[in-house]
Amino acid sequence: MINTLLRVTIISVALSVAIKFGAPLLEIPANNTTATIGVLLPVLLIAIVLGWQQNKQNAAAAHLEKSIEIED
């Protein structure tokens, strides 16, 4: 549990530092399209990751179910 919290904290700090010092170097235009992408991209990325994990869990459960049926 502490290992996970430490990992999340380190990633969060690294991302914050990268945004603070790296973002001004990118020269991103300030317009509606850029703002929309900035708001929607994190949500879409999280949805993709969660969907992928759910798919892996369903595949593992189906494999386990088949293993149990074969043993019976």
If you search the block for the tokens 């369903």, which residue do you land on? 58
Domain that holds residue 46: 2-71
State both tokens at 48.
């993709």
Predicted local confidence at residue 61, as pLDDT:
78
DSSP letters for the chain: -HHHHHHHHHHHHHHHHHHHHHGGGT----SHHHHHHHHHHHHHHHHHHHHHHHHHHHHHHHHHHHHHHHH-
pTM of the full predicted structure?
A: 0.56
Predicted local confidence at residue 72, as pLDDT:
56
pLDDT in tens, the chain (72 residues): 788 999 999 999 999 999 899 988 988 899 999 999 999 999 999 999 999 999 998 888 777 777 776 665
Considering its fold, how many domains does the chain have in total? 1
Q: How far apart are CA 35 and CA 18, in angstroms?
A: 19
Predicted local confidence at residue 65, as pLDDT:
72
